[in-house]
Every structure is written in C-alpha cells, then in structure tokens.
Amino acid sequence: MMRLGAIAVAVLCFGLAAGATGDAIEVAGALPRTGKISLGELKKLAVTKAIWKSHGEGHEVTGVGLDKLLAKFGFEPGAMGKDVPKQDKRRGWRKVVVATARDGYAAVLSCAEIFEEMGATRALVVWEVDGKPVPADRGPFRLVVLTDKEPSRSIHSLAKLEVVDLTPKVP
C-alpha cells in the first residue's frame, strides 16, 4: 500500500510539472541522459504503424515505441546472472515512467511492462492518427497504450516523460 501511495505522489508531483514546449517532449529523471526530443528525432527511431482501439473505434496510429524512446536516452534493464548481487539485478525494472500531458493529466507505466523482452504492454508515442497529424489541440504528440482495454493511460498533448526509480532505500 505504501508503494501505491508513493506512485500516486509521483504522479501528482510530476504531473503538475509538465515541461514540453509543444514541439518537443521533455525526457527527464532516472536516465543516463535527459533532454528534449523533437518530431524529427522521433522519426529517426524505429517508426511503427499500429491499430489503436479507443472508445470502440479503431484508429491507425504512427509513432515510436516508448521502450525505443527511453533506450535512446540510455535506459537499460540492468545486469542479470548468478554473479550479479541481488540488489543490483535488473535495476531498470524497478523504475516507472510518469507520462504527463500539458494540462497535468498523468499516467504511470512500469519500465518492465513496456520493454518487449520483459512485458506485454505496447505503448507508443504517436504523431499521426488515421494518416493525419494529431490535431493541434490534442498534440502534437500522444501516448497510446495499444494493449490497454480502455484508453485511461493514453494521453493527448504529451509533454513530459519522467523516469522514477522506485528502488527502496535500505538503511
């Protein structure tokens, strides 16, 4: 229960601090590199087209996997093996991404769930819906979670992605 409280506080704190200027997404937090990423830079990553269901309708979306975007900023799951100390195993899987819209709406995804080699969640940062740019009042970027049964974690006007390390501090 304490862990859920910490996540809720993280969503509220980071949600109110959305930082994109509109033409780029701020990428911040527990990553080797942070900064902003523009549409041009996103298009240089592995672009994906997929069908996203929202409110009973299917939409073709064009974007890049959230895992690929985080990897561009140096995210790694961490080492695994018998020779790796228990506290150091897969440190990246103890992190979450807080995705925040310009209006402060936020959603949380675990890093483990969004990386193909670990989880089943498919999340994309998209810039086109049904062959057209995301409308100005809802864009220019949108986070869509293709595998969710409802669009609660899909965010329009995506402004910021903040990686938060939830590793407990051991005294």
pLDDT in tens, 51-90: 999 988 999 999 999 999 999 999 998 888 899 888 888 8
The predicted pLDDT at position 75 comes to 95
CATH number, domain 2-165: 3.90.420.10
Position 137 pLDDT exceeds 60? yes
Tell if the pTM clears 0.75, that is, is over it: yes
Domain ranges of the chain: 2-165
The predicted pLDDT at position 76 comes to 92
User: Do 124 and 99 meet the contact criterion of CB atoms below 8 Å apart?
Assistant: no
7-66 pLDDT, tens digit per residue, is: 444 444 444 344 434 689 999 999 999 999 999 999 999 999 999 999 889 999 999 999
The predicted pLDDT at position 11 comes to 42
